């Protein structure tokens, strides 16, 4: 019997379709696939490779002021939003628009063309996280920015057009409807119970254990009970905090190893699947609060959305989340 499962935080339902159930190992990518780390270390045509630094407008680099670099942030060459300009609101009948003011930056995660987070060292991942944090804090200071979206597209099916490891940061002049909805739901849960809904979900996952895939003192990673797609993972800080921008040093130290652990499991168990990584944090003008909780979502691109998803906003997930978790936790690597 299929199930409709509800995500307690978003109140969205997802169909877990047992009739069409595919076992986790059905998602192992073909073994003749070129894995990310098997590509060349340097590509003279890649704008993010060493030697091509002048192709993009640099925002900052780490280490600062040095000749070389470990990570860099550059302006997106085709930005979705413009940094310069005034925020103008125009309401003219049904035509309502705001000038597209905001930020659209690319974080180059490594000098090597064929590096990938899953195989980097903790120190290298830490340098990436530090850069997310640095630019997140700086962009938040711009009063025109209402919300930040941190994301990474790994692989073509996840929307990546360049192989060189990179993330993107977009600073928006509005809070998107979807985020507003999540904030409202978490606020309602807080009103009803005095608890953060994410803390509640996390406590439940820790006590059940069956969907957990990795854990340390500061973070927990689990396959979502109401996963919208196969291997849909959340990484939650174990201490309540609404804004990633307020993360403390102790948590920062523990984030990189956990993120590496989760991505390494995906890389080895599923043979380098395409994925999106998203870091969600409270809107910039609702900074620290009791109801929202920052987290990282990882969504491997192993199934496709179609008319049903577009028409309903719901997802059909043909795998059992508990089986996906067990596979990532214990599963023998069948390559």
Residue 277 interacts with its own copies (CB under 8 A)? Answer: yes
| Interacting positions 309-328 with its own copies (CB under 8 A) | 310-314, 316
Candidate residues 136, 173, 230, 300; the one interacting with its own copies per rule CB under 8 A: 173
| Interacting positions 186-245 with its own copies (CB under 8 A) | 200-201, 204-205, 225
Taking alpha carbons only, the member of 186, 185, 183 closest to residue 174 is 183
Taking alpha carbons only, the member of 262, 227, 251, 7 closest to residue 117 is 262
* Continuous segment of H or E residues that includes residue 130: helix 122-140
| Interacting positions 2-21 with its own copies (CB under 8 A) | 2-6, 8, 10-13, 15-20
Spatial separation of the C-alpha atoms in residues 212 and 205, rounded to whole Å: 7
Residue 280 interacts with its own copies (CB under 8 A)? Answer: yes
- Cβ proximity to its own copies, 69 vs 276, nearer residue: 276
Number of residues counted as binding its own copies (CB under 8 A): 73
Residue 253 interacts with its own copies (CB under 8 A)? Answer: no
Contacts of 177 (CB under 8 A, 6+ apart): none
Active-site residue identified among 110, 147, 164, 166: 166
Spatial separation of the C-alpha atoms in residues 235 and 244, rounded to whole Å: 12
Question: What is the closest distance, in whole angstroms, from the C-beta atom of residue 41 to its own copies in the complex?
Answer: 25
CA distances to 30, 117, 273 from 334, in Å: 11, 22, 14
Candidate residues 40, 193, 250, 308; the one interacting with its own copies per rule CB under 8 A: 308
Strand 219-223 to strand 212-215: parallel, antiparallel, or no bridges (unpaired)?
Answer: antiparallel
Question: What is the closest distance, in whole angstroms, from the C-beta atom of residue 312 to its own copies in the complex?
Answer: 4
Question: What is the closest distance, in whole angstroms, from the C-beta atom of residue 290 to its own copies in the complex?
Answer: 18
267, 118 in Cβ contact below 8 A?
yes
- Cβ proximity to its own copies, 121 vs 312, nearer residue: 312
26 phi, psi to nearest 5 deg: -70, -15
Question: What is the closest distance, in whole angstroms, from the C-beta atom of residue 216 to its own copies in the complex?
Answer: 22
SS3 assignment, position 269? helix
Residue 264 interacts with its own copies (CB under 8 A)? Answer: no
* Continuous segment of H or E residues that includes residue 200: helix 197-208
Spatial separation of the C-alpha atoms in residues 277 and 152, rounded to whole Å: 5
Residue 240 designated active-site: no
| Interacting positions 49-108 with its own copies (CB under 8 A) | 78-82, 85, 93-100
Spatial separation of the C-alpha atoms in residues 110 and 32, rounded to whole Å: 26
Stretch that binds its own copies, among 48-56, 137-145, 273-281, 323-331 (CB under 8 A): 273-281
Stretch that binds its own copies, among 57-65, 117-125, 143-151, 214-222 (CB under 8 A): 143-151
Which residues are tagged catalytic?
A: 166
């Amino acid at each position: 019997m299929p199930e409709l499962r509800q995500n307690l935080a978003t109140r969205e339902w997802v169909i877990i379709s047992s009739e069409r159930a595919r076992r986790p190992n059905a998602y192992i990518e073909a073994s003749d696939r070129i894995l990310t780390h098997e590509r060349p270390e340097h590509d003279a045509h890649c704008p993010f490779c060493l030697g091509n630094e002048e192709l993009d407008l640099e925002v900052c680099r780490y280490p600062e002021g040095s000749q070389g670099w470990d990570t860099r942030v550059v302006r997106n060459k085709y930005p979705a939003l413009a940094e310069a300009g005034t925020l103008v609101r125009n309401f003219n009948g049904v035509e309502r628009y705001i000038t597209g003011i905001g930020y659209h930056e690319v974080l180059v995660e490594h000098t090597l063309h064929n590096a990938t987070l899953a195989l980097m060292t903790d120190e290298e991942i830490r340098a990436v996280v530090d850069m997310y944090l640095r630019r997140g804090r700086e962009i938040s200071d711009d009063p025109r920015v209402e919300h930040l979206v941190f994301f990474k597209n790994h692989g073509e099916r996840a929307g990546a057009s360049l192989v060189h490891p990179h993330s993107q940061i977009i600073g928006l002049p509005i809070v998107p409807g979807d985020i507003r909805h999540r904030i409202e739901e978490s606020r309602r849960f807080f009103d009803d119970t005095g608890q953060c809904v994410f803390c509640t979900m996390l406590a439940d996952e820790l006590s059940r254990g069956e969907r957990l895939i990795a854990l340390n003192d500061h973070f927990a990673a689990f396959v979502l009970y109401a996963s919208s797609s196969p291997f849909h993972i959340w990484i939650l800080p174990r201490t309540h905090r609404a804004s990633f921008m307020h993360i403390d040093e102790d948590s920062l130290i523990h984030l990189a190893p956990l993120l590496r652990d989760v991505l390494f499991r995906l890389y080895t168990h599923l043979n380098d699947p395409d994925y999106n990584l998203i870091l969600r944090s409270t809107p910039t003008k609702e900074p620290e609060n009791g109801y929202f909780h920052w987290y990282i979502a990882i969504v491997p691109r192993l199934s496709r959305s179609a008319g049903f998803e577009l028409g309903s906003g719901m997802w059909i997930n043909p795998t059992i989340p508990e089986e996906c978790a067990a596979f990532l936790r214990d599963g023998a690597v069948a390559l």
